[in-house]
A and B are shown apart, each in its own frame.
Chain A
Amino acid sequence: MLTDYIPIVIIMTIALVIAVVFIRFSTLFGPRKPNREKLSPYESGMEPVGTAREKFSVKFYMVAVSFIVFDIEIVFLYPWAVSFLNLNGEKMLYAFIVAMIFIVLLAVGLIYEYKKDVLKWD
């Protein structure tokens, strides 16, 4: 029922209080020596304003591609793992083998990446 959500409300309140207190205290007591770099918006170390046609190293894309592959692996394996316990006997073995084939094929991709020096960063 609705009362089940009370712990969530409590944890959200605590989080809110902590966040407000921390930010307020650091603005009140922290030292402040601003310069141009510090005042610019945070963009993970990139220049926030500039031409959109900048060249990236192709390695970023490689990492992104391999990330997506393993991301999708989780998407497939999570429901598989959840429903795995509901199976029994022969069906369980079958489900296990099917998932293993999937993982082996993904591992083939990883070996390909490794041999093509995609994971080497320099």
Chain B
Amino acid sequence: MLSSQDVKYLYPFILLIVLSVVTLFLDLFTKQNKKIVSGFSMLTIAAVIASLFYILINDPEIARTQEILHSYLRINRYTIAFSVLSMLGIFITFLASKNYLKKQDINFGEFYYIILFSAAGMLTMLYANDLLVIFIGLELMSVSFYILAGLMRRRLKSNESALKYFLLGAFITGFILLGISLMYGTGLTKGIENPLNLTAIKSNPNFLFNPYFLVGFALFLIGFFFKIGLFPFQMWIPDVYDGAPTVVSGMMSTSGKIAAAGTLAPIIIIMHPSDLTLMFSVIAVLTMVIGNVVALVQNNLKRLLAYSSIASAGYLLVGITSMNIHTLDAVTFYLLAYTFMQLGSFLIVSHFEGKTADGKDFSNIDIGYYKGLAKRSPVFTVIFTIYLFSLAGIPPLAGFWGKYYLFYAAIKANLIWLSVVAILMSVVSVYYYLRIIVYMWFMDSKTEIPEEKNYLKGNMLFFAANVVCVLGTLVFGFYPQLLFEMFKLIQKII
């Protein structure tokens, strides 16, 4: 039964679902004018973010975890922080994508409301207090992503990306379900009434030592490692991000990852599988090595950013492995910084991206195109440079503090060797980020590409999105405590 207590916390859901259906109807009943749809979808996300902040500000009770709907859902400050972050990624994508969609002939209304449906999946996952609810949210998000990856339906590359993502994702879904059913069966035989409930699992800590439960948990983890893109399950990321429309890749690599990591991190904190620390550390190391080393030789910027997102997943796992009071704060901060810098970089790539003469492939995504960009398009060069410095972890930008908090959490958990490896790998990453910067600032382009003038004209929203990302990178770089004050998080760090 739904009590008024519950409804209070469910406003973001109700708003999102009702307004996304309204968006769909707007697209169906207004002819060819995507301005209304795009505006309304931005409004929807803004309303969801506002309602999340409303709960945060007006409800002191959420300092402790509140259970909603017979404890199928839960809410606390971290839930709200993660939800706001993933909605923010979507909002920035909506702001920036109009010109890109027109340029690549994919100006469909579906783009907007399928992303809104995936947003509903993300909220469900982040709110979930029950493994099956998590599964439903994950599927809602993933199915939307499969469609979005294949949005350019006449291009071979996009089709390849969508099919690859769909086949692998559907296969991994089987792992998650098998894992959940094993955990359920084990719980029932131990006499736990609702063994999929995270609260029930938390109150039976000896449960984790049951071998069947461990197998189920491992299968469940495999599914999430796939979605986040950790080592043995990372192969799909470059191919999918390369073939998908660039704004969609940016959205998948930020909002999708925030939703998956923001769900996984609290589960790991609740279950606290300290026996698995070594396994997590090894996977984190391998992920960072694969991501950073392969990125060194990439010339295609979309693939490079995809490998850099694999490396970021490795850093995230370093933080998650620590499993102490700092973990969630560190993960939240890193995901915030990551949203701005990674999404911003994808947006810049989408701005310069074109299509080949026959319209069958992307063009201008090679690093060679970025030679001498500083002369042609100084404003976007400066913006891109800020993102890349932040990704490389140069202080005082937000990316530096993100890595700092993650590694600090790991050191506090006595994982000093792991943090040393992580820092070394982040040094390796500086090479390929700086390579792009060198290409842009210090090299001359051999081919004549016209100078970009009037970058503001007809591009205001795109520019606004970049301003948001740059401001985020700078503000949270100079004043990292702002995040913890904003969401009233624990602030245990420093």
- Give the B-binding residues of A (Cβ under 8 A): 90-91, 94, 105, 108, 111-112, 115-116
Cβ of B2 < 8 Å from any Cβ of A? yes
Q: Which residue of A90, A94, A112 contacts B28 across the interface (Cβ within 8 Å)?
A: A112
- Tell me if B21 and A105 are in contact (CB < 8 A): yes
B interface, by DSSP: helix, strand, loop or mixed?
A: helix
Size of B's binding interface in residues, CB under 8 A: 7
A111, B28: Cβ atoms under 8 Å? yes
B1 within 8 A of A: yes
Contact assessment for B1 and A115 in the assembled complex, using a CB-CB cutoff below 8 Å: no
B136 CB–A CB distance under 8 Å: no
Q: Please give the distance in Å from B332's CB to the nearest CB on chain A.
A: 32
CA distance in complex: A115, B29 (Å): 8
Q: Which residues of B contact A91 (CB under 8 A)?
A: 1
Min CB gap B50→A, angstroms: 24
Q: What distance in Å separates the Cβ of B114 from its nearest Cβ neighbour in chain A?
A: 12
B24 within 8 A of A: yes
A residues within 8 A CB of B28? Answer: 111-112, 115-116
CB distance from B290 to the nearest CB of A (A): 37
Say yes or no: A108 contacts B21, CB within 8 Å. Answer: yes
5 interchain pairs, CB-CB under 8 A: A94-B1, A105-B21, A108-B21, A111-B25, A112-B24
List 13 other contacts, CB 8 Å, given A108-B24, A111-B28. Answer: A90-B1, A91-B1, A94-B1, A94-B2, A105-B21, A108-B21, A108-B25, A111-B25, A112-B24, A112-B28, A115-B28, A115-B29, A116-B28
- CA distance in complex: A21, B21 (Å): 58
Interface string of B1-29 (1 = CB under 8 A from A): 11000000000000000000100110011
Residues on the A chain within 8 Å of B21, using CB? 105, 108
Q: How far is the CA of A116 from the CA of B21 in the complex (A)?
A: 16
| Chain A residues near B29 (CB-CB < 8 A) | 115
B360 to chain A, nearest CB (A): 21
Smallest CB separation, B130 vs chain A (Å): 17
Q: Taking the nearest CB of chain B, how far is it from the CB of A90, in angstroms?
A: 7
| B-side contacts of A111, CB under 8 Å | 25, 28
Q: In this complex, what residue of B is CB-closest to A93?
A: B1
The 3 tightest CB contacts between A and B, nearest first, are A115-B28, A108-B21, A94-B1
CA distance A115 to B21 in the complex (A): 14
Closest to A101 in B: B17
A62 to chain B, nearest CB (A): 15
B154 to chain A: closest CB distance in Å?
14
Measured CB to CB, the closest approach of chain B to A86, in angstroms, equals 15
Q: How far is the CB of A107 from chain B (nearest CB, A)?
A: 10
CA distance A94 to B21 in the complex (A): 22
Q: B25 to chain A: which residues have CB within 8 Å?
A: 108, 111
Q: How far is the CA of A90 from the CA of B25 in the complex (A)?
A: 32
Of all chain A residues, the one with the shortest Cβ separation from B2 is A94
Report the nearest B residue to A114, measured CB to CB: B28
Cβ contacts under 8 Å, A115 to chain B: 28-29
Residue of A nearest to B1 (CB): A94
Chain A residues with Cβ under 8 A from B2's Cβ?
A: 94
- Alpha-carbon distance A33/B46, docked complex (angstroms): 73
Query: CA of A95 to CA of B483 in the docked complex: distance in angstroms?
Result: 41
